[in-house]
Structure 1
Amino acid sequence: MTLTLYGIRPCDTVKKARHWLDTRNIEYRFHDFRVDGLAPALLQSWLDRKGHEALINRRSTTWRGLSDTARAGLNREHALTLILANPTLIKRPVLTGPDLLLIGFDEKAYARLTTD
């Protein structure tokens, strides 16, 4: 199974996920939003599968730094525009693979990777 872990290097939750995968010798490719960017088609597919409410981290520094106007009336199209301009709005990490899209680090959800 080919896995990709999306996030940013300094994020503590991303570090936890990477450590979890590394200690279990689960191979993955790391994609840093800040370095590698974020393709609109990929983001659109995540929004189609999970919705903007699940994808946006409303506790992030980036979210709190947005104007009230930018946060108001958030729908899928607006979320797409906001996230492409500010990829750190995404709840991290995002782990993808064939038929897999996990948002955030949940050890129980990750544990299923070792049983499938």
Structure 2
Amino acid sequence: MEIYGLKTCDTCRKAIKALPEARFVDVRAEGVPDDVMAAARARFGDALVNTRSTTWRGLSETERAGTPEALLAAHPTLMKRPLIVAGTEMHLGWTKDVQAALGV
């Protein structure tokens, strides 16, 4: 199991604490592998881009008009967090539904 997120994100810290066996990947330092990002994009669509983040608010209208793939490649902190990959399953966020699906 892998958790993709930011080490400074409180929500990611909660997920890491609840899933100690998972490997944490800091998207700012290591990025998200292309195959994982493509699968996440196919699964979650535009929900993968966090339009409530301070990074998003700092972007110009021209930058916001870019494709989600280009936005996430240029600004990894725009990804909604955490992205949890457990085998063939993917979960986005740390909601009660995600926690229940992971047995936490």
Per the normalisation by structure 2, the TM-score is 0.89
**Structure possessing the higher radius of gyration over alpha carbons:** 1
Alignment of 1:36-115 (within 5 A): 36-51=30-45, 53-72=46-65, 78-114=67-103
Q: Counterparts of 1:109 and 1:92 in 2: how far apart (Å)?
A: 12
The structural deviation recorded for 1:34 is 1.4
Instruction: Indicate if the aligned counterparts of 2:92 and 2:98 stay in contact, CA closer than 8 A.
Output: no
Query: What amino acid maps onto 1:19 in structure 2?
Result: K
Q: Runs of 5+ in structure 1 lacking a partner?
A: none
1:34 is paired with a residue whose SS is coil
CA-CA distance at 1:4 after TM superposition: 0.3
Q: In the aligned structure 2, how far is the partner of 1:29 from the partner of 1:38?
A: 13
What's the secondary structure of 2:28's corresponding residue?
Answer: helix
Does the residue aligned with 1:95 lie in a helix, a strand or coil? strand
Task: Work out the CA distance in 2 between the residues paired with 1:82 and 1:108.
Answer: 27
1:45 to partner: Cα distance: 1.6
Query: Per residue, is there more helix in 1 or in 2?
Result: 1
Structure 2 residue ranges without an equivalent (≥5): none
Give the match for residue 7 of structure 2. 9
Residues 41-86 of structure 1: CA deviation (Å, up to 9, x unaligned): 32112111211x21011111111111011113x5xxx110110111
* Paired positions, count: 104
Deviation digits for residues 78-111 of structure 1 (CA, Å, limit 9, x no counterpart): 1101101111000000101122111111133222
